[in-house]
Amino acid sequence: MVKKVLKFGGTSVGSIERIQHVAKIIEKEHKNGNQLIVVVSAMSGKTNELLNLSKNISDSFDKRELDVLLSSGEQVTSALLAGALINLKIEAKSYLNWQIPILTEGENTNARIVNIHTDKINKFLEKKGVAIIPGFQGISKNGNITTIGRGGSDASAVAIAKIFNTDFCEIYTDVDGVFSTDPNKIPIAKKIEKISYDEMLELSSLGAKVMQSSAVQTAMIYNIPLEVKSTFTDRDGTKIFGQESIDYTKSVTGVAYSKDDAKITLIGVEDKPGVAANIFEPLNKSQINVDMVIQNISSDKRTTDVTFTIKRDDLQKTKEIFEKNDNINFEKITYNDKVAKLSIVGAGMVTTPGVTYKMFRALADEKINILAISTSEIKLSVIIDEENILNAVKKLHTVFDLD
């Protein structure tokens, strides 16, 4: 007998038929004698539907009330799945975040789980019950319902696995596991049998949507074994472990991309100590995440051009910040909101010479211009024009023998 967390994403519970199918998967695990905590997302499309309802009231809908509204999606799924299991003669119970409780800290819509009371659910598991918990949410020390960001059900599942000291955490989704790139856009993508936390963290933060990056980070810190697998097939998924799963023989494990980026350049910025801090401080205060940063100093060393990337949704707000900020002197601002980020990830890049050249040569052969570059030990990212992204992904996928 083992204790498991099973997490089912929105597509896995997207209809009554799919919820009943998930109940069958849980029934099989239950018959094997396993203790089960099941974490669920809202039914696919439900969170967006609720968000649109709030926007119909106001574009600046109160954040506390927004969390109350958005958390209802996972609560609906919890009740429906518990009901489906009871219908299969399985002792099951749904627990709302405040009934456990799941304790969080931080602001509404972006809180984080800090602790979970375990006694109530552990006693239920010992009686062979299946506990159903809504993901994505918790309750603050002030008694307010909070949510932990879009895609937060993964983070909920990993936190629950850590605090309940479970043996496994299985993430069920609509694909067979983690792929070398997006299989919906690149049919020749292949499934990765096992991958390190480090590689998975890079892929998830770079646009691979299989798992939320904060969930991978938590699993890595606490060494929680993960497996990503399909709700709709019986095939083995992708196992995510620590250092022992790193394959150093392969220079590149996967190719990731995102198409929600924008590039901004401040031209003619005065080159003196503190300028970079002055540029990025107001962005930090406005919670605008900055990704790549490039600085080019002029030949007279008096001015510099600063280029950086942000999420496309933050472009208008960022432009307004610089137009109104008197602490930053620059000649002009340019921007491009039709760019995409392309990245290769692999632990083997550390020990394999020529990976950078190979990537740049491949893009040059396709006449694709590189607009910005960022590197780490196991990652190489570039910004290119959005129109070239799929062609670039296919090219790199082939060049690095991932087909």
Please state the domain extents for the chain. Answer: 3-174, 255-399
Q: 255-399: which CATH number, 1.10.3720.10, 3.40.1350.10, 3.30.465.10, 3.30.2130.10? A: 3.30.2130.10
Res 298: pLDDT: 67
d(CA 140, CA 146): 7
Where does the pLDDT of residue 151 fall: very low under 50, low under 70, confident under 90, or very high at 90 and above?
confident
Most confident by average pLDDT, 73-77, 270-274, 333-337, 376-380:
73-77
Where does the pLDDT of residue 244 fall: very low under 50, low under 70, confident under 90, or very high at 90 and above?
low
State pLDDT tens for residues 106-122. 989 989 999 999 999 99
Residue matched to tokens 């096992």: 194
Instruction: Say yes or no to pLDDT of 391 above 80.
Output: yes
* Phi, psi (degrees; rounded to nearest 5) at 290: -100, 135
Read off the pTM: 0.81
What percent of the chain is predicted at pLDDT more than 70?
A: 97
Which contacts (CB < 8 Å, 24+ apart) does range 354-358 have? 355/251, 355/252, 355/380, 356/380, 358/399, 358/400
138 contacts 25 by C-beta, under 8 angstroms = no
State pLDDT tens for residues 45-97. 999 999 999 999 999 999 999 999 999 999 999 999 999 999 999 999 999 99
Higher-confidence position of 301 and 104: 104
252 contacts 349 by C-beta, under 8 angstroms = yes
What percent of the chain is predicted at pLDDT more than 90?
A: 68
Gyration radius (Cα) of the chain, Å = 23
Helices (H) and strands (E) in the chain, counts: 12, 18
Sheet containing strand 332-345, edge to edge, reads 290-297, 303-311, 254-270, 332-345, 379-385, 372-376
Most confident by average pLDDT, 192-196, 277-281, 357-361:
357-361
CATH architecture of structural domain 3-174: 3-Layer(aba) Sandwich (3.40)
Instruction: Say yes or no to pLDDT of 206 above 80.
Output: no
